[in-house]
């Protein structure tokens, strides 16, 4: 099972506005007036077709827009023999779309996932006890309808993985799992179709390494 966490950015307030809003007499009124003014000034966007993307409050597809390829780094926690299947999953998306939308940038020494300006893949042995059925999780940071950062975590505590072409009983195919999570990195939501690489559940010893025609069509709505 895959997890997906979306983290909308919170715009900072100018210093004069922070001082104004700290005054209890005007806090509620000031917030209401600012929200009304922003809403009045914002352009009205035509709702887009979802194409299985996560949608913003303005009904726009959330994606990296033109800022591709997205470069991801491997944290030092990732076993070295995982590098090739991760690269293969990146290659699967690039070849399916006929262009480079993802690339691997090498190794990183980040200490933990979080908004830090880098897109990093982690192998986590300290997974939450109440989420032990979650094989991996992608956290996406975005503002408006534009993604600006994403982190991918693989659950190393509760699951074992295989990396070859032969399925191994009781283990999860790492390439299939990463292919799914990279779909989240690019903005796709889960799919109800069992054949889609974005299907929420990935059984043990199951290969799902090729995006379907629907997956590709959806992705081409943005890329």
CATH number for 177 = 3.40.390.10
Q: Report pTM.
A: 0.84
User: What residues make up the domain containing 93?
Assistant: 62-219
From first to last of its 223 residues, the chain has per-residue pLDDT tens of: 677 777 776 544 443 333 333 334 333 334 334 444 445 565 789 999 999 999 999 999 999 999 999 999 999 999 999 999 999 999 999 999 999 999 999 999 887 899 999 999 999 999 999 999 999 999 999 999 999 999 999 999 999 999 999 999 999 999 999 999 999 999 999 999 889 999 999 999 999 999 999 999 999 999 9
**202 part of a folded domain:** yes
**Structure-token pair, residue 216:** 């590709």
**27 part of a folded domain:** no
**194 part of a folded domain:** yes
Our count of domains for the chain comes to 1
CA distance 52 to 108: 31
**22 part of a folded domain:** no
**42 part of a folded domain:** no
């Amino acid at each position: 099972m895959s997890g997906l966490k979306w983290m909308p950015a919170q715009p900072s307030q100018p210093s004069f506005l922070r001082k104004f809003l700290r005054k209890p007499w005007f806090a509620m009124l000031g917030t209401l007036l600012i929200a009304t003014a922003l809403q009045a000034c914002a352009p009205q966007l035509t709702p887009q077709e979802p194409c299985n993307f996560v949608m913003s409050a303005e009904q726009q597809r959330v994606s990296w827009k033109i800022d591709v390829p997205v470069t991801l780094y491997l944290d030092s926690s990732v076993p070295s023999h995982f590098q090739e299947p991760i690269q293969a999953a990146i290659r699967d998306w690039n070849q399916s779309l006929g262009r480079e939308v993802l690339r691997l940038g090498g190794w990183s020494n980040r200490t933990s996932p979080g908004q830090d300006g880098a897109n990093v893949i982690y192998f986590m042995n300290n997974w939450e006890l109440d989420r032990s059925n979650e094989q991996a999780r992608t956290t996406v940071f975005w503002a408006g309808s534009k993604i600006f950062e994403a982190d991918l975590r693989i659950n190393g505590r509760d699951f074992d993985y295989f990396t070859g072409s032969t399925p191994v009983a009781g283990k999860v195919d790492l390439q299939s799992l990463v292919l799914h999570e990279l779909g989240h990195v690019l903005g796709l939501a889960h799919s109800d179709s069992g054949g889609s690489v974005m299907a929420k559940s990935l059984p043990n010893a199951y290969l799902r390494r090729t995006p379907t025609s629907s997956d590709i069509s959806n992705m081409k709505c943005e890329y």
